[in-house]
Amino acid sequence: MKILEVLTYYRPWVSGLTIYVERLSRALVRQGHDVTVLTSQYDPNLPRYEVVDGVKVVRIPVAYRVSKGVLMPGFGPMAWKLAHRNDVIHLHLPQFDAPGVAMRGRLLGKPVVLTYHCDLQLPSGLFNRVVDRVVQAQNWMAGTLADAVVTYTRDYAMNTPYLSQYVERKLHIIPPPVELVESDDAEVSAFKEKHQLAGKSVIGLSTRIAAEKGIEVLLEALPIILKEHPEALVLHANPETIGENAYARRLEPLFQRHAAHYIQLGGLHGSELTVFYKSLDVLCVTSLNRTESFGLVQIEAMRNNVPVAACALPGVRQPVTMTGMGEVTPVGDSEALAQAVIAILNDKATYQRDAQLIADSFSPEQTAVTYATLFQSLQQGHTDTSTPEPAAYERLRQMRDERQ
């Protein structure tokens, strides 16, 4: 099957969405499918065309930027060309260009699948309100034209205005793909020695420095945690971010205040990320709004036996809720986060579960098989139906209940 994946940003840009599509695309290629990614050349130094791990990547030059959005005059003609060549069109929202690509699929009689990764919530201001209205309209048009709408959890779908309209039709719940590069004990030992982790309670954060990620919630919780665990140290894996300079400046006084207990590692890649997780005692997810819909980093941590203190956002609370591997706290509540972290640090083993079952439930191969089955069903004319939650989620709940 020839599959066209369409999204605004792709690798090497680091976000949950780009990592999701990269993992899915690689898995589809491994299963024998032909995958092309159509995306932006957000960095002019990136090649216009390349093949990475069997995935063909086509990048369109950016003429103008609007916040994190991009305008690409060459996008439309290339979308036409690639829509003709492929059997299925897979769109990833939020994405300004989605309705136009979906319309091309309709006109060409090609199945169109839309995966809705998260809501878009811009800072306050008249201009951003206008942009938000435009994006909402674009999303609505794309959803109307799509044959199927996919998201990670029913919890997020039920609590998101956009997705809730599809709960009775079109909606499909597919677990996101999670994988990590293997690491060995020597790498972990070297990492721990480098950062002097011996005898310390290590708290992890794996996220961009972006306003919606709520990093200040952990920074404000840290003094409370240090009263119980004075040796605690935060390790923050923070890939590069565009357009968040004001937020970074706002956090700088807090970073300086806690410099003795807070290390920014920058972006981690390959086995470095696995080593990071293996060095943690707890991972925190502190997001503040529906731009976070799941938090793939939670599964990355759990498959390395690391419990999670997660905020109670719809979708984001599901990894801990399904597995029992951590604590869920009110959104933006530093005191509650501190108490959750302390509880996990005091009795980490109580929160640990079957890491292999968690890994298998979110394997890219399983995600790819589920998508391919959906694509083939749509090709055969089966449309406008919804599917129940996947069996993998029920298995995780059974594991949780058996341990309680």
Domain boundaries, the chain: 2-177+363-390, 185-357
Both structure tokens of 345:
């640090």
Q: What's the pLDDT band for 120 if we cut at 50, 70, 90? A: confident
Res. 307 pLDDT band, cuts 50 70 90: very high
- Which residues, including other chains, have CB under 8 Å from residue 191's CB and lie 6 or more apart? 197, 275, 276, 279
Count CB neighbours of 401 within 10 A. Answer: 9
| Cis ω for the linkage preceding 12 (within 30 of 0) | yes
Q: Is 386's pLDDT higher than 80? A: no
Query: What pLDDT shows up at residue 396?
Result: 94
pLDDT digits (tens, 9 = 90+) for 160-196: 999 999 988 899 999 999 999 999 999 999 999 999 9
Rounded CA separation 393/153 (Å): 9
**Token pair of 205, please?**
């954060």
Tell me the two tokens of residue 51: 């093949």
Q: Is the pLDDT of residue 384 over 70?
A: no
Alpha-carbon span 239 to 276, nearest angstrom: 14
What is the residue-averaged pLDDT of the chain? 93
* The pLDDT of residue 122 is above 80: no
Structure tokens at 402: 């058996």
- Is the domain defined by 185-357 classed in CATH 3.90.550.10? no
- Domain 2-177+363-390 class in CATH: alpha beta
pLDDT in the model for residue 383: 72
Residue 126 pLDDT greater than 90, yes or no: no
pTM, whole model, 2 decimals? 0.90
DSSP 87: S
Is 2-177+363-390's fold the same as 185-357's?
yes
C-alpha separations of 401 from 139, 282, 357, 368 in Å: 38, 21, 14, 28
Structural contact between residues 262 and 255, judged by C-beta atoms closer than 8 angstroms: yes
